[in-house]
A and B are shown apart, each in its own frame.
Chain A
């Protein structure tokens, strides 16, 4: 089972920041938090990942709490094309792990409204 909990759906106004929360209270100290999104049954698209520090790239920012039990994905200026299902996934640590498969939950359906 997925080690993460996300709200099933969220709305956000176009042009505003979309903040998607994720709880991963059982995360281990060396497990990564990954975010992907899936636009209408297309292939999952990698967004960002982090371990302990906050991360930012051209798509989004990832804020991880100090205790690492939760994180927030931030899309700074949401557009209609950001409407998708967003998945927060805890990735097992390496090296030597035998479970590098990504375990997917139901994700958050984010709807960007004009």
Chain B
């Protein structure tokens, strides 16, 4: 069964350093998402991406964050200058596009196993 994969599983970095988290979405999916979960807290939406551009982003997704689909398979989240409060699990998700009469819609989001980011 196809699944979303993420690398690395755990990333440790020093405050102020740049990190890139990588995701390989399910191959026929066209919508991509990043969420994060600080330890003990709720899952929070960061950003969604479609057709090579951001379609939605939350208040958390400030100028320190960026996303990219550098090739046909990877979807990345970059944090330019990490802060202590960026320590969290980061989850990538993807969804298929459904076409019905007259419109397109997004199907169920499937999540990867996550990357644990620890900022020291």
Contact = CB atoms under 8 A, between A and B. Distances in A.
B52 to A, nearest CB: 17
Interface string B102-116: 011110111111101
Nearest to A43: B111
Interface in A38-58: 38, 41-46, 49
Contact of A102 (B31, B45, B105): B45
A46 B48 contact: no
Majority SS at the chain A contact face:
loop
Interface in A16-74: 34, 36, 38, 41-46, 49
Nearest to A38: B43
Nearest to A41: B89
Given A36-B111, A41-B37, A104-B42, 14 more contacts: A34-B108, A41-B39, A41-B114, A41-B116, A43-B112, A44-B93, A46-B111, A49-B108, A98-B56, A99-B56, A100-B48, A101-B48, A105-B42, A106-B42
Interface of B: 4, 6, 31, 33, 35, 37, 39, 42-45, 48, 55-56, 58, 89, 91, 93, 103-106, 108-114, 116
